[in-house]
Amino acid sequence: MKAASYIVAVIIPLGTALALSAFTRIASAAEVPGFAFGSPDKNRVCLTCHSSVGAVGKNNYIDPMKFSRSTHARIGCSTCHDAIGSTHPDGRRSGISTGCLDCHQAIGAEYVNSDHVRNASCGSCHNPHTVLTLSEISSEEVRRQCSGCHKPEMMWSQHARWLPQAELHLETIPCITCHTESRELVVTISIVGKKMAESGTGLQPVSHAALKRLVQGGDIRRIIDRDGDQSVSIAELKDFHKNPLYDEYCLAGVMTPSKISHTFKIINNRWDCTYCHAKGPGAVKSSSIILPMEDGSVTSIPVEKGAILEALNNIPDLYLMGSSRNEFMNKIGLAILGGGMVMPVGHGVLRFLTRRNRNGKEH
């Protein structure tokens, strides 16, 4: 009963903020006269006005670049804004009769049982005009959704009660990496500018145009997938790191749940540091490299299993204790320890063999 009242009182009205309609409505929306809805450039007509603050005002402005990257751009404006008539703009508010839950029923059913439902609606965290998939956004963008309510300073102090290097963890890992019921994590890797990584000013993916220049107008996928087999191997990652042409670039990864979950509960194994801080195949089982395409979308190439650390180890200032230890350094360390054993072992053996010279009396 309580859950049902939440659905009526909270989810449905608030869901309208993140307006998505059922695909069944697409057809009817396409029939609205006066606008070219449903065509490949179905958003173009709307954005003619709505991409200009001067034309529609700040509240009705849609950033065309952000919207074109958004997954919602693929279903088109009229899918959610289906109540717009042929007389638009006629000065009347364009009522939205659809809600987020018309499409995202499963998420709604999960969300209604979470603690968040009392405090936040879909639109509190997600802007329907800029929404992206997990593989397309940076840690910072994911974290920004949470920090509206969960103030960073308070989160640092709360986590610091039990988490070593709390501030560093919260800076580099999106909240949902731990606060999820997804058992597995995925790492999404992008090509970023090395200088930005070193100076700590954030890792921003390199633009399509910049990548295009690297391959002199060729296929940008060949930068990393050299043999074009639609899969990135450890050898190809090593080639990328060694290639002097790409000296200014490195790879940066975002670790996110493999399955989106809106309960934000923590699975017990996340309390074990070795979930991340250990080498070898652990929870992070798959990764992919994403490259920005000309139309604002991204293309994804799967990375060979086990190559994640190879990719991440080459980020200038990334070091995961226990996971990203350097094998070459291990060998040097072992040689140093071996050197330290020369005296006890070598001298000790000779000492034992010549013990009679000291008449049983050591010096």
Partner 1 sequence: MKTKIYLQPTPVRIWHWINATGFIALILSGIQIRFPEYVHLFGSYKSAITLHNAAGLVVAISFSLWFFYYKIIAGTILKIYMPNSEDLRHGLLRQGIFYFFKYFKGEPNPHHTTPENKFNPLQKSAYLAVMFILVPMVSLTGILIMNVTPLRELVLLAGGLKILANLHFLFASSLCAFLFTHVYLATLGHTPLEHFKPMWTGWEEIDESETHGQAADLGKAETGR
- Region binding partner 1 by CB under 8 A among candidate stretches 103-111, 209-217, 278-286, 303-311: 278-286
Distance separating the N- and C-terminal Cα atoms of the chain:
88
Q: Which residues between 304 and 323 bind partner 1 (CB under 8 A)?
A: 316-319, 321-322
- The CB-of-175 to partner 1 minimum distance in angstroms stands at 17
In whole angstroms, how far apart are CA 249 and each of 76, 192, 310, 342? 35, 6, 15, 44
Closest CA to 215 of 171, 258, 265, 249: 249
Residue 352 CB, nearest approach to partner 1 (Å) = 10
State residue 299 phi and psi, 5-degree precision: -115, 145
**Least distance (Å) from partner 1 to the CB of residue 341?**
6
- Least Å from the CB of residue 181 to partner 1: 22
Q: Please tell me whether residue 277 binds partner 1 under the rule CB under 8 A.
A: yes
Residue 357 burial class via C-beta count within 10 angstroms: exposed 0-12, middle 13-18, buried 19 and up: exposed
For partner 1, which residue of 229, 274, 293, 306 counts as binding (CB under 8 A)? 274
Please say which residue, 13 or 200, places its beta carbon nearer to partner 1.
200
Q: Is 347 in the site for partner 1 (CB under 8 A)?
A: yes
Residue 187 to residues 43, 276, 300, 348, Cα–Cα distance (Å): 32, 12, 12, 51
Closest CA to 322 of 281, 284, 273: 273
Smallest distance from the beta carbon of 333 to partner 1, in angstroms?
4
Contacts of 238 (CB under 8 A, 6+ apart): 310
> What residues contact 190, with CB distance under 8 A and at least 6 apart?
203, 205, 206, 251, 252, 253, 289, 290, 291
Between 109 and 196, name the residue whose CB sits nearer to partner 1.
196
Per CB under 8 A, does 24 bind partner 1? Answer: no
Q: Which neighbouring-strand residues pair with 190?
A: 252, 290
Residue 359 interacts with partner 1 (CB under 8 A): yes or no: yes
Subset of residues 227 to 246 that bind partner 1, contact rule: CB under 8 A: none
Residue 13 vs 338, nearer CB to partner 1: 338
Q: Based on CB atoms, which residue is closest to partner 1, 305 or 347? A: 347
Cα separation, 185 vs 285, whole angstroms: 7
Under the binding rule (CB under 8 A), the answer on residue 357 touching partner 1 is: yes
266: helix, strand or coil: coil
Structure tokens, 179: 């606060």
Q: Are 18 and 11 in contact (CB under 8 A)?
A: no
> Which residues from 325-344 bind partner 1, rule CB under 8 A?
325-326, 329, 332-334, 336-337, 339-341, 343-344
Q: What is the enclosing helix (H) or strand (E) of 255?
A: strand 249-257
Which one-letter amino acid corresponds to residue 235?
Answer: A
Options 113, 147, 199, 201; binder of partner 1; rule CB under 8 A: 199
* Cβ at position 234, least distance to partner 1 in Å: 19
Candidates 36-44, 71-79, 103-111, 350-358; binding stretch for partner 1 (CB under 8 A): 350-358
Number of residues binding to partner 1, judged by CB under 8 A:
47
* Binding residues among 152-181 for partner 1 as defined by CB under 8 A: 162, 164-165, 167-168, 171
Q: Which residues bind partner 1 (CB under 8 A)?
A: 162, 164-165, 167-168, 171, 198-200, 272-274, 277-280, 316-319, 321-322, 324-326, 329, 332-334, 336-337, 339-341, 343-344, 347-348, 350-351, 354, 357-359, 361-363
